[in-house]
Amino acid sequence: MSTKKTMQRDVFKPGEFIVYPAHGVGQVTAIEEQEIAGFKLELFVVNFAKEKMTLRVPVAKVASVGMRKLSEAAAIAKAMDVLTGRARIKRTMWSRRAQEYEAKINSGDIIAVAEVVRDLYRSEAQPEQSYSERQLFETALARLVDEVAAVDGSTETEALKRVEASLAKGPRRARTTDSAEPEADNDEASEEAA
């Protein structure tokens, strides 16, 4: 049992950047031991500078909460490819799609987050999003940009430009009208009103 704990503890080192699915990119600042309700627990101390938040994650719970190392450069490249693809928007009620988008964002999977960014992205020429769409888009975009910046060692601004450049390469981004689009927006408006 102690060797298993030691192995789990060695997965993340202080100073290392990680992804915590519910909060995005954070940095392991320490590994500490605390006594809670008579039990000694080893905890990863994770700092999320953007949110000014510190999280203590029990070493034994790392897998169940989905905490992981940053994506490899190949996964980032694949996520960028996803952004250039055609948006795949299901013809279901917005509330159900919103739940699916939320689940993808909180999955911690960089490809799933990129899919949400791609599906909810609107160019200048396209109609404005609803408040809830914009909130989900901004959350997904922030998670994607943070991880791209951490993996590349670039600034947030440089990572955002890279993501936006990939989004601009996608279909329908340059055109101002698309015959199927107004119909989709009318469906969405009636779903939100219902």
Tell whether 30 and 103 lie within a shared domain: no
CA distance 151 to 191: 39
DSSP state for residue 124 in the 8-state scheme? T
CA distance 8 to 177: 53
What pLDDT shows up at residue 10? 65
Q: How far is CA 82 from the centre of its chain?
A: 14
Tell whether 163 and 182 lie within a shared domain: yes
Tell whether 170 and 112 lie within a shared domain: yes
Tell whether 81 and 174 lie within a shared domain: yes
What pLDDT shows up at residue 172? 63
Inter-residue contact 149 to 156 (CB < 8 Å): yes
| Greater pLDDT, 3 or 48 | 48
Give the Cβ contact number of residue 132 at 10 Å.
13
Tell whether 108 and 43 lie within a shared domain: no
Distance in angstroms between the alpha carbons of the first and the last residue of the chain: 55
Residue where one domain finishes, among candidates 69, 87, 113: 69
Task: Indicate whether 191 pLDDT > 50.
Answer: no
What pLDDT shows up at residue 50? 84
Tell whether 46 and 103 lie within a shared domain: no
Mean confidence (pLDDT) of the chain: 83
The residue range of the domain holding 138 is 73-193
Q: What is the pLDDT of residues 148-184, one digit of tens each?
A: 999 988 899 999 999 999 998 887 654 433 333 444 4
Tell whether 154 and 64 lie within a shared domain: no
CA distance 107 to 10: 23
- Provide the angle, in degrees to the nearest 10, between the axes of the packed helices 94-105 and 110-120: 140
Number of domains in the chain: 2
Q: What is the pLDDT of residues 85-142, one digit of tens each?
A: 988 888 889 999 999 999 999 998 999 999 999 999 987 777 778 899 999 999 999 9
What pLDDT shows up at residue 127? 77
Tell whether 84 and 122 lie within a shared domain: yes
Inter-residue contact 163 to 81 (CB < 8 Å): no
What pLDDT shows up at residue 92? 87
Tell whether 34 and 124 lie within a shared domain: no
List, in sequence order, every residue forming a beta bridge with 45; answer none if it has no partner: 30, 56
What pLDDT shows up at residue 171? 78
What pLDDT shows up at residue 1? 44
Q: What is the pLDDT of residues 15-36, one digit of tens each?
A: 999 999 989 999 999 999 988 8
CATH at residue 130: 1.20.58.1290
The string of DSSP letters for 136-162 reads HHHHHHHHHHHHHHHHHT--HHHHHHH
What pLDDT shows up at residue 44? 93
CATH at residue 56: 2.40.10.170
Tell whether 48 and 107 lie within a shared domain: no
Tell whether 20 and 89 lie within a shared domain: no
* Amino acid in position 153: G
Predicted confidence band of residue 39 (pLDDT cuts 50, 70, 90): confident
What pLDDT shows up at residue 8? 56
Q: Which residues are within 8 A (CB) of 87 and not within 5 positions of it... i.e. 6 or more apart?
A: 118, 119, 121, 170, 172
Tell whether 102 and 170 lie within a shared domain: yes
Residue where one domain finishes, among candidates 45, 69, 93: 69
